[in-house]
Each structure stands twice: as structure tokens, then as C-alpha cells.
């Protein structure tokens, strides 16, 4: 009489154990592998930034491309069509393209000429005690608005600024404001820190033992610079040049204030077409052309950087 309940309990125990094993097997099959879990975490981290770029970069660019092949509505804005007339009309803004494609590279080159000695002194010559202070002085201009700094240059270059001082030494009728030179000066002043910092970072990583070895082998300072320092700092140079050039291609504020409407950049043309003339298709065609120019600049910079990285050698003799 007592063996029946015992057998029944044993049977239930085996059934529960079998069910538990089956559940564990299913759970183990459903468990994520480490690689899958890592990919999911990466996707979750990247998703917000990707969504932001898609909404505020990709979609607007698609809209601009669509507008570029349309027509201007009679009341202004966009009218659906498919035509290349806007691109055929780019020659009417040739002066804006000329000013941009001439002054932007020149501004980048002048920034490089000024920035490299400054970055070299900060990274190689300055003492650790003074380096932090000097780097802070380089960054200080970013604490104020570019608009405020450009307005200051308007006063300095205006009739009551440097030209007024030159009158005391007999030099009269000097016009500095509203000239390409004024725009170039504003460009160099405004973008110089963006050129200094990448070069400074590259030079700061420079192995000082290479310089010491070069000196021990009897190399002259100039040979050491061109054989070691400059090649090893080229990544920072290329980064600074690409960054400044790309930003200058879309510059609006400095030509508007220091050029006075006489030195037009592509950015000024875009503002005029979108906000004043309300010719959105033509403005979009110019914007698409500008994007193509920026992409070409990036590809050229990347190709040069890859070539330099692949062929760079340190010659101590």
C-alpha cells in the first residue's frame, strides 16, 4: 500500500526534472553569444547619432538635390520640375566661386605659415610650466563669438582705425576695409587656432629621442627639421589644412562684414538666393556644387595623407 505513492512521487520528480532540462536547453539555445551581444550594444550606442545625422544631414541634402533640379515658383521658392537649367546658370555666380576658390586656399596656406612655428614652439621649445598657459591663450579667442571678433576688425580696419593713424605720418586715402586683403586678414585671425591645434598635437607626440639621435649623428638643425620633424607632423598639417579649407569654402560672416558686399563668397551667394531672392532651386544647385567641391578636397587630402603615411621614412643623415 505504501509503494504506490512512492512510485507516483518518483514519476512526478522525473517529469519535473525532464521539463527543467528541456527548459534549460531551450534557454541555452536562445541565449545570445558574446559577439551578438557586442554587436547589439554597439548598434544601440550608434543608433542615436546615426538617427541624428540621417534627419539633420542626409534628409536635408536629399531635399537640396531635389530642389536643384526644379524651378523657381512665380512667388518664389520651389516648383516641381526636372531641369538642368540651374546648373547651366552657375556661370552667373562665377565671381563668388572665384573668390572662394582663391581666397580659401590662400587663407589656409597663410594660416599654415603662421600656425606651424607657433605649434612647434608650444610642443618642442616651451617649458611644461608655460605650455599650458600658452595653449590656453591660443584657445581663448573661441571663448568669444566670431561675430564680435569680426566687428572688432571692422573698427580696426575702418576709417577711424589704422587708416586714421596713417594720416598722422602723411599716408592718406588708405582703404583697408571692404577689400580682399581685409577678408584674408579676418580669415587668418578667425581660423588660426584651428590650424595650430592639430599641428601641435602631432608635434607633441614627436619622439624627442629621434631629435637627439639626429644631433648625435651630426645632422644640422635644418636637416633634422626637414628629415624628421616635418614628415612626422604631416598628419597634423593635413588635418589642419583640410579642416580650415573646408570651413572656408562655406564661410559667410567674414566676407559679409569685412568684404562689405564687394568680396562675395559662395556662402554669401547662398544666403542671398535662399533668403533674399527666394530662388531655392538655383541656391540648391550652388549648394550641391559646393558639396562636390568639399568632397573632392577631402578625397585629395585623404589620398595625400595615405601616400605620406605609406612612404614616410625617417632619415637621420
Asked whether residue 221 carries a pLDDT value surpassing 90, the answer given is no
State pLDDT tens for residues 173-186.
888 999 999 999 99
Q: State the pLDDT at residue 315.
A: 42
Which domains are assigned to the chain? 36-65 (no CATH), 93-311 (1.10.3720.10)
Between the alpha carbon of residue 53 and those of residues 46, 50, 58, 60, 80, the distances in Å are: 11, 5, 6, 10, 26
Asked whether residue 23 carries a pLDDT value surpassing 80, the answer given is no
User: What pTM value is reported for the model?
Assistant: 0.79
Asked whether residue 17 carries a pLDDT value surpassing 70, the answer given is no
State pLDDT tens for residues 98-141.
999 999 999 999 999 999 999 999 998 888 888 889 999 998 88
Average pLDDT, the chain: 85
Are 206 and 122 in contact by the 8 Å Cβ rule? The answer is no
Per-residue confidence at 142, pLDDT binned at 50, 70, 90?
A: confident
Separation CA 27–CA 18 (nearest Å): 14
Identify the DSSP state of 2.
-
User: Does 202 or 298 have the greater pLDDT score?
Assistant: 202
Sign of CA dihedral 227, 228, 229, 230: positive
Q: Where are the alpha helices (DSSP H) in 121-229?
A: 128-139, 146-157, 162-167, 180-204, 208-216, 221-224
All three cell numbers of 61: 541634402
State pLDDT tens for residues 226-262.
888 888 898 899 889 989 999 999 899 999 999 988 8
Per-residue confidence at 314, pLDDT binned at 50, 70, 90?
A: very low
Q: State the pLDDT at residue 2.
A: 47
All three cell numbers of 161: 582705425
Separation CA 190–CA 173 (nearest Å): 27
Per-residue confidence at 214, pLDDT binned at 50, 70, 90?
A: confident
Which residue's C-alpha cell is 518664389? 76
Asked whether residue 1 carries a pLDDT value surpassing 50, the answer given is no
Amino acid at each position: 500500500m505504501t509503494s504506490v505513492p512512492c512510485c507516483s512521487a518518483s514519476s512526478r520528480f522525473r517529469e519535473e526534472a525532464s521539463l527543467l532540462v528541456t527548459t534549460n536547453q531551450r534557454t541555452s539555445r536562445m541565449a545570445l553569444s558574446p559577439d551578438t551581444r557586442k554587436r547589439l550594444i554597439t548598434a544601440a550606442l550608434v543608433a542615436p547619432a546615426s538617427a541624428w545625422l540621417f534627419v539633420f544631414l542626409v534628409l536635408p541634402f536629399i531635399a537640396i538635390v531635389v530642389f536643384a533640379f526644379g524651378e523657381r515658383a512665380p512667388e518664389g521658392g520651389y516648383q516641381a520640375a526636372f531641369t538642368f537649367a540651374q546648373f547651366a546658370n552657375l556661370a552667373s555666380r562665377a565671381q563668388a566661386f572665384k573668390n572662394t576658390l582663391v581666397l580659401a586656399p590662400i587663407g589656409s596656406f597663410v594660416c599654415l605659415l603662421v600656425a606651424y612655428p607657433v605649434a612647434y614652439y608650444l610642443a618642442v621649445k616651451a617649458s611644461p610650466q608655460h605650455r599650458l598657459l600658452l595653449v590656453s591663450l591660443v584657445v581663448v579667442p573661441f571663448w568669444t563669438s566670431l561675430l564680435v571678433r569680426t566687428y572688432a576688425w571692422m573698427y580696426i580696419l575702418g576709417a577711424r582705425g589704422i587708416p586714421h593713424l596713417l594720416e598722422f605720418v602723411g599716408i592718406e586715402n588708405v582703404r583697408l576695409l571692404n577689400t580682399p586683403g581685409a577678408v584674408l586678414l579676418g580669415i587668418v585671425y578667425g581660423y588660426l587656432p584651428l590650424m595650430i591645434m592639430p599641428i601641435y598635437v602631432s608635434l607633441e607626440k614627436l619622439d624627442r629621442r629621434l631629435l637627439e639621435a639626429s644631433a648625435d649623428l651630426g645632422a644640422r638643425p635644418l636637416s633634422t627639421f626637414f628629415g624628421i620633424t616635418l614628415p612626422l607632423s604631416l598628419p597634423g598639417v593635413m588635418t589642419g589644412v583640410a579642416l580650415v579649407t573646408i570651413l572656408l569654402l562655406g564661410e559667410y560672416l567674414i566676407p559679409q562684414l569685412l568684404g562689405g558686399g564687394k568680396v562675395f563668397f559662395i556662402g554669401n551667394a547662398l544666403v542671398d538666393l535662399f533668403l533674399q531672392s527666394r530662388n531655392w532651386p538655383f541656391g540648391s544647385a550652388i549648394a550641391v556644387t559646393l558639396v562636390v567641391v568639399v568632397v573632392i578636397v577631402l578625397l585629395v587630402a585623404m589620398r595625400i595623407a595615405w601616400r605620406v603615411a605609406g612612404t614616410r621614412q625617417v632619415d637621420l643623415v
